[in-house]
Amino acid sequence: MLAFLDVLFFVVHILIIGFNLFGWLIPKFRKAHLWLVAATLFSWLVLGIWKGWGYCILTDWHWDVKRELGERNLPNSFIKYLTNNILGFDWSNNTVDIITLGTFIIAITLSIRVNFFTKK
């Protein structure tokens, strides 16, 4: 069951990241995209007040599963885990955080533009 949950969390993480970055492109999903990026920001900033900047509840649950499976030395960020452990890049935490934040800001800006400032 834990191995299944590990894979499920991995897939859900990838889907959320992809939708956060590109969901604004599909007119049918633009409102859902706006809600998801708002929820992501809430987690990062509001829950982050207590748990640390960039806190993700999904990562927290995923890391609980990975620790039960015996994995240790997990980074604070799923994206850091993805870039270093899965994609094989040796990027610093700072580099990953800057790229993550930069692409997220671009996606939010484009989402706001297509949701509120583009004629339908």
pLDDT in tens, 49-99: 999 989 999 999 999 999 999 999 999 999 999 999 999 999 999 999 999
Q: What is the pLDDT of residue 87?
A: 93
- 8 A C-beta contact, residue 38 and residue 20: no
3-state secondary structure 32-80: HHHHHHHHHHHHHHHHHHHHCCCCCHHHHHHHHHHHHCCCCCCCCCHHH
**Domain span holding position 111:** 2-116
Instruction: Give the dihedral sign, CA 56/52/30/26.
Output: negative
pLDDT(120) > 70: no
Report the domain count for the chain: 1
Angstrom distance (rounded) from CA 102 to CA 96: 10
Q: Tell me the per-residue pLDDT of 11-25, one tens digit each, with 9 for 90 and over.
A: 999 999 999 999 999
pLDDT at residue 119 is higher than 90? no
How confident is the prediction for the chain on average, in pLDDT? 96
pLDDT at 117 over 80: yes
